[in-house]
Amino acid sequence: MTDAQHSSIPVWGMVLTPFTPTGAVDHVSLARHVSALVADGVQGLIALGVIAEPIALTRAERGQVLDTVLEHAQGRPVVATVMSLDHDDRRLDLRDVVAPRRDHLQAVMVPVSSSHADVLVRDLKDTYQNTTLPLWLQDYPMPTGIHIGLSDLLRVLAAVPEVAAVKCEAPPTFWRIHKLAAAQSNLTLLSGMGGANLVEDLVAGARVVACGISRPRVLVDAAAAWDVGDLASARAHLGRIAGLIGLETQPGTSVAVRKEHWRRRGIISSATVRPPQLPYPEFLSALSTELGYSNDH
């Protein structure tokens, strides 16, 4: 048995935004969700990322959500995400959501905003000037539709040393991670995608895990096993939840399915989502039960 609490491979929890059945932000459930992530062993928290439904939140709600995450982080570092691809909208989020809370944040994460290196360099430098926080870059083309070539990405990273980390979710993730690790050894590379390629990403050079699934403890244990050289145990941990990862990472329903599972864990009160997310498919209820989520709550 490995000691997940002392692993050098930290797992960061991606924070959802729970809503009441009427669609209001449920800050009581959000506080329980953050506390549960911490109890499950995450060493940091990423707020307002893709699974937090940031585009469905008003700017005021984004700030309120970030306040609740910070209040209940129990000393864990917090990274705030600004997902907007629009230059002016991003600046407003940086000014009104991130900057007032800058002293309590470890970094700000932004997505790859352009496939053109020069444009992305400009956007990242502008982000840094507006926050002076270290930058995390999310390379995740699926929700944004923006793919940047590896050579262009390397040009960007060389031109913007303020980028401290890259969340690598452009497939094949392990190939991208391997190339980035070889080119910039001081760059922190995060494995994401619900843990689907966790072992391959760690082998390739990832040194942090971003976890948005509803069983973060399993990824914490898998990362800890890999950290002490127990590749078989790491793979076994992931094998136990392979079906769960597949179910919770389906585009369109991933947020609602994860919310339903957190609800069944007794952590949040409702699996309500806002458009454009699709609601939890009730016909999957028996499958969720089979995966260990009793519908008793």
Mean pLDDT over 113-118 rounds to 96
Residues 29-60 have pLDDT tens digits of 999 999 999 999 999 999 999 999 999 999 99
- Residue 52: closest CA among 91, 80, 86, 11: 80
CA–CA separation, 95 vs 131, rounded Å? 8
CA–CA separation, 141 vs 27, rounded Å? 30
Mean pLDDT over 60-68 rounds to 98
Mean pLDDT of the chain: 95
CA–CA separation, 127 vs 110, rounded Å? 9
pLDDT of residue 6: 61
- Residue 289: closest CA among 267, 270, 263: 263
CB contact set of 171 (below 8 Å; sequence gap of 6+): none
> Residue 296 — very low, low, confident or very high, per pLDDT cuts 50/70/90?
confident
Residues 170-223 have pLDDT tens digits of 999 999 999 999 999 899 999 998 888 999 999 999 999 999 999 999 999 999
- Residue 259: closest CA among 10, 21, 12: 21
Q: Looking at the domain that runs over 7-241, which CATH code has it been given?
A: 3.20.20.70
pLDDT of residue 295: 85
Taking the domains of the chain in order of start, what are their residue ranges? 7-241
pLDDT of residue 1: 39
Phi-psi region of 132 (alpha: psi -120 to 50; beta: other; left: phi over 0): left
pLDDT at position 2 over 50: no
What pTM, to 2 d.p., does this model score? 0.94
